[in-house]
Amino acid sequence: DDPIHCRPCRLGVTAQWYLNELEDKGHRDLAAVIDQITLLEDPDMPLTLCREFDIIKRVVEEPLRERLKDFDCSTQAFNPDDVIEDEQQQH
């Protein structure tokens, strides 16, 4: 909520990706939990969602677990400021 000190939250993208992956692999119950959490109007919702991501990675089968871990790493490593700086340097 503070654009001067905080970057925009990308958690919605991550939640949607988890939701799609879980549904594709037949984990509709886990996908429903993600969906319900995203509907909460609670300041702790992002933390609750991240905790659920961690729980999900502990209970799903190995190929999906690795895919979720890889996605988490790439999401956390992405810095939109780097993209903006690169684009500004190219112009």
Write down the pLDDT at residue 20.
Answer: 96
User: What is the pTM assigned to this prediction?
Assistant: 0.74
Q: What is the pLDDT along the chain (91 residues), one digit of tens a residue?
A: 555 655 556 788 899 999 999 999 999 999 999 999 999 999 899 899 999 999 999 999 999 999 999 998 877 765 656 655 656 677 6
Work out the end-to-end distance of the chain between its first and last CA atoms, rounded to an integer number of angstroms. 30
Write down the pLDDT at residue 78.
Answer: 57
Residue by residue, DSSP assigns 4-49 as TTSPPP-HHHHHHHHHHHHHHTT-HHHHHHHHHHHT---TTHHHHH
Write down the pLDDT at residue 75.
Answer: 76
Distance CA 36, CA 67 (A): 22
